[in-house]
Chain A
Amino acid sequence: MESDNSYQNLLTEVNNFTISYNDVGEGKIPVIFLHGFPFDKSMWKGQLDSLNSSYRLIACDIRGFGKSTDEETPLSIDLFSEDLIAFLDKLNIKKAIVCGLSMGGFIALNAIKKFPERFEALILCDTQCIADTTEVKENRYKAIDQINRDGVSIFNEKFIKSVFHPNSLTNKTELVENLSTVVFTNSKEIIIAGITALAGRPETCSSLSAIGIPTLIICGREDSVTPLVQSEFMHEHIEGSDLKIIDNAGHVSNLEQPDEFNKYLRNFLNSLDSVSNELGNP
């Protein structure tokens, strides 16, 4: 992952906070990229660099993260999806393709459930539709207690190790360091607010069958945070969806294997263009 210094940080106020975003390239239907917890929009730089000559690509910092600072409002996936719709409204975007990784996928699924008319296609990366089990919730609250007691460093370090494939941890040290810098930029308050949002998220599995738009699911084969079986479940329940599995990747497949990830993304976006052209859409 390279640092995010080649795109402008645009700012706009939506839903009572200032959202920071990159908006590059041109295309009929913009692709909105939603990052995972506790990262920021810079995690999509490899995708923006690779695809901006063909598509309009927008990567935003979710409320509280990156440069979209907000340490006052209690965070939730419901709020993030409302922010997303307000953001689309502000940019005058009637319909978008949404691409979310991990927490970004939770937001995408939540938004599509509530506002299906606003989306043209869906890309779910290393994510899942289930809510936290009681055990997982308890573990999250234990993590919050530990952060309050000992500080955020232990949690961050453990989390960073958990998102990468073992080979990435050994061979892609610069990538690991860069992501680590992003994670450590968050305040303790935002890490806690983010964990609370994840723990409280509603399930979206029961609405998968209602998703009637083209859907691409991408998952690292060794994703230990949202395991492959979760992507397979979504694939089975979203009619017509396509599942791509990336070898030698963990939970951040777009960072660990960007070429393969971008190939699947590009093919999917091209396939949408073909369908649109066949239907004679402008």
Chain B
Amino acid sequence: MKTELELNEMILVVTNKIRERDPELLKYMNEMPMTVPHQENPEISVKTLTSYYESLVVLFEEYENNHAKSLASNKV
């Protein structure tokens, strides 16, 4: 199982990619709140972070795939 820090680092990598390559996605990211409870609970934090990371990856990959498809169809 990933640690909180590892998950945060993974989230940062995807977030940086989005900011750099697809900044238009940022508005959707802001609609995906990551609510980590104030009370320290590593299990809940890891669960929440994992879910947030997975949502970000889906958002990013789907957008990139659709974008690539749309570019390809425009070429045809």
Contact = CB atoms under 8 A, between A and B. Distances in A.
Interface of A: 3-5, 8-13, 18, 25-26, 90-92
B30 A10 contact: no
Contact of A5 (B5, B27, B34, B38): B38
B11 interface: yes
Interface of B: 4-5, 8-9, 11-12, 16, 19-20, 26-27, 30, 34-38
A12 B36 contact: no
Nearest to A67: B40
Contacts of B36: 8-9
A13 B5 contact: yes
Contacts of B20: 92
Contacts of A26: 26-27, 30
A158 to B, nearest CB: 29
A92 B12 CA distance: 10
A11 B5 contact: yes
Nearest to B36: A8
A185 B36 CA distance: 20
A10 B8 CA distance: 6
Contact of B12 (A4, A10, A18): A10
Nearest to B12: A12
Nearest to B27: A26
B38 to A, nearest CB: 3
Given A4-B38, A8-B36, A91-B12, 12 more contacts: A3-B38, A5-B38, A9-B36, A10-B11, A11-B8, A11-B9, A12-B12, A13-B5, A25-B30, A26-B27, A91-B16, A92-B16
